[in-house]
Amino acid sequence: MNQFDVLPVTAMCRRVFERGDHVLIGVSTGNSYFNQERLGALLVWAERHFSLIDVMYVDTHIDTMLVACGLTPDEARRRTKGMLKDVRRRLRRALERVAASEHPRFRVRPLSEYETLPGYQEVLRRAEPDLARSGLLSRAAEEQVHDLLMSQTPGPPGSASAAQWSAGLAYLRAELPFLLNTPGILDVPSSVACYHKSMPVVRELFQGLGSLDRDPRQGFLVVRPPAPAPSAGSQPAAPPLPGRNTVTLTAQYDEISSDYTDVERVFSTYRGLIEVPSLLHALGPVEGASVLDIGCGSGAYARLLRQQGAARVLGVDLSPGMIDTARRLEEADPLGVRYEVHDAADMPVLGAFDVAVAVAVLHYADSRETLARMLRRVRSNLADGGRFLAYVGNPRLPSGTAQMNGLVVNRPDDPRDGDPSPLTIPTTPPTTLPARYWSCETIEAALGETGFGPVVWEPMKGVPSYAGEPVNLLLSARAETVPA
């Protein structure tokens, strides 16, 4: 396995890569991605492209993270010792594969050794005040720490403790100088840092408006094994078409469902930091309630509400692929959630539910008529007085594009109701979905016309830097009693 897909995150990063002066390969201790075979192949690739290769493996903050995740200090020390022994063994054998153990072009050092370098300390000293002042970069850091914690301690969204957050931020802080000025730290003409995936802080530093002083000789590459070739007879997903084309939308979500990891990478951070805390705060206790999750996708909210005590939960989605994914997750961890394939605009009466939720569904209505049809279908599935909560696209976002953990919201200039406002999800390859712009006033009017009472735009909870300008807004309304 000597071939990799190499993805410079900007044109400037490509130019630094093409110079071939230096590469810093970061290896996460304890990450199963960095097996011995892959490390050997990565070193072979680096030898072909760069004059000097540094390999850095993480040996700091591991025990702190393990203690924060529930281990005793003694257990954390033993676990850390074993993890470091394993990563050093894998690196030693990978170096033997390319006969690099005595090669001056290769240097392997732990992070703790880099932290003693004067250049490293100077870059970090200069960066910390800007990191504290930059709201966008702080938000990206929050996303990255959340991703790290989810990989270390999978559990209910938003469940990370203060100690875990502190350990995660220390981990990120230690790696930040290598994204800013490796040439200055190691006295090389130019350098690219490479990792097997992009990260929120990388996107903000290289593609956003981050205020930190990044050296122009610093680049970043995503270097990963190539995606599997499409199977014989497979067809690429069709591009979004004007109007509500449920065949196209279904096909796109079926395609997305084939890479559940990609989808979770995009949505889990924002969901855990802002959407889940806000929804649970607005909803209140659900013990004993019946819940209909419309547009359930892979079932994240359906499972969450069942775990919160809902007596009966049914998830529906127009994508058979998404429903298959949700059912596989249910089989792996049975909670008693049922899933069925239905389009929100055409679903039958499935019951008289106490609660209906629809996360990122209404923006796929291509007309006022379709929006009203969706809401009538919701109302017909609610008991009188039942509650409807929905996340809808924030119409107050400025024109242009807005990003949330790699998700791109494209907002037209001077938008009018029903105008295209497509969403691009950074799957591999990216997927663009045919969302539409709808104003708060239009949504409120449509709810009033389809049997709902006054709309409440619920306050956004969770991480403050997200709640200030959310990508989505949360509404709630009650199903009005039908006169006898």
Read off the pLDDT of residues 28-60 as tens digits, 9 standing for 90 and up: 887 767 777 888 889 989 999 999 999 999 998
Residue 325 pLDDT > 90: no
Instruction: Name the catalytic one among 28, 198, 268, 290.
Output: 28
Domain ranges of the chain: 5-224, 249-479
- Mean pLDDT is lowest, of 81-85, 403-407, 426-430, 455-459, for 403-407
The pLDDT score that the predictor gives to residue 96 is 83
Q: Are 24 and 184 in contact (CB under 8 A)?
A: no
- Mean pLDDT is lowest, of 13-22, 262-271, 349-358, 433-442, for 262-271
Q: Are 438 and 368 in contact (CB under 8 A)?
A: no
pLDDT digit string (tens) for 169-228? Answer: 777 788 889 999 999 999 999 999 998 877 777 877 775 544 567 888 999 998 887 754
Tokens standing for residue 269: 């951070």
CA angle 329, 330, 334 (to 5 degrees): 130
Share of the chain above pLDDT 70, in %: 73
CA angle 176, 177, 181 (to 5 degrees): 135
Count of Cβ atoms closer than 10 Å to residue 430 Cβ: 10
28 is catalytic: yes
pLDDT tier for residue 110 given thresholds of 50, 70 and 90: very high
pLDDT tier for residue 350 given thresholds of 50, 70 and 90: very high
The pLDDT score that the predictor gives to residue 147 is 55
| Residue-averaged pLDDT of the chain | 81
**Residues 391, 482, 291, 299, CA torsion sign:** negative
Residue written as token pair 């030693």: 92
Q: Which of 90-99, 122-131, 422-431, 439-448 has the highest mean pLDDT?
A: 439-448
Residue 441 pLDDT > 60: yes
Domain 249-479: assigned CATH number: 3.40.50.150
pLDDT tier for residue 266 given thresholds of 50, 70 and 90: low
Residue 162 pLDDT > 80: no
Angle between helices 246-257 and 320-332 (to 10 degrees): 30
Residues 398-414 have a mean pLDDT of 70
The pLDDT score that the predictor gives to residue 406 is 60
Q: What's the CATH fold of domain 5-224? A: Rossmann fold (3.40.50)
Residue 429 pLDDT > 70: no
The pLDDT score that the predictor gives to residue 256 is 54
pLDDT tier for residue 319 given thresholds of 50, 70 and 90: confident
The three-state secondary structure class of 178 is helix
Residue 262 pLDDT > 60: no
How far is Cα 477 from Cα 460, in angstroms, rounded to an integer?
16
Spatial CB neighbours of 2, under 8 Å, sequence gap ≥ 6: 41, 44, 45
Share of the chain above pLDDT 90, in %: 42
Residue 143 pLDDT > 70: no
If residue 73 lies in a helix (H) or strand (E), which one and from where to where? helix 73-97
Spatial CB neighbours of 252, under 8 Å, sequence gap ≥ 6: 237, 238, 240, 431, 433
pTM: 0.53
The pLDDT score that the predictor gives to residue 25 is 95
Asked whether the domain spanning 249-479 has the same topology as the one spanning 5-224, the reply is: yes
Residue 418 pLDDT > 80: yes
Residue 356 pLDDT > 50: yes
